[in-house]
Amino acid sequence: MIQNKRPAPAPVAIVFGGSSGIGAETARRFAEAGHRVAVVGSRPRSEVEGLMKEVVGGLYLQTDLSQAGAPGSVVEAVLEAWGRLDAVVYSAGATVRIPHPDLPSVTDEVWERILLMNLRVPWRVVQAVEPALRRSGDGSITIVGALAGVDVGGSSIPYAVSKAAVHHMCKLLGGVLGPEIRINAVAPGLIDTPWTDGWDALRSTVVKTAPLARTGTPGDVADAVFGLVSSRYVTGQVVVVDGGLSLVP
């Protein structure tokens, strides 16, 4: 007797900070690969209608991630909608441009905002998603860090420190979340996003210096993110996506 097998349900992904830039491109990639995608962002729904048309069948959750309970509320909404969770990407964050020698401009408020969004919120996300990802048996978390957390540089010292910290957090978590969950980080160099509009001088320097002779695109980073999600024998790693810029003395 031939028995008809039910098709496996499509995997579910959450992209925190998914309404623009790297996060939006990552959400598109998940959707193209057949995932059901929850896009999390702070923008009103009216501002992401175009994106959500591309993320077919997706769910948009407008959320203020600075609120302590926000990640848990997102997970609850996703489980209520689809009953499972397989992959999580954290692409939200904060920065401010302050020249590194300008120590007086780095106030406590600057530190608090950057550390909140770049380190404490990703930690809360990990705590919130862990139970559901363990149930999936093959869960994946990818955090978008920065080249500034690997090498000397970055838009400000607090930004660079926050990214170095979140990279190390991924390494530590890689040792404890397995075997059901893998966690990795990507560390982009200069990427052409709304964040970097107007950074023309730096963009020119990167084009002249990097071995691949260009700045990056959100798609370049999304490629790396999706590659890590698909790499089932990789955890606790930081993958640099910088066109080779960090190789130049």
Catalytic residues, which ones?
159
Close Cβ partners of 90 (under 8 Å, ≥ 6 residues apart): 16, 17, 121, 122, 125, 141, 142, 143, 144
* Nearest CA among 123, 91, 122 for reference residue 191: 91
Contact 229, 190 (CB under 8 A): no
Close Cβ partners of 223 (under 8 Å, ≥ 6 residues apart): 29
CA distance 194 to 21: 7
Close Cβ partners of 105 (under 8 Å, ≥ 6 residues apart): 98
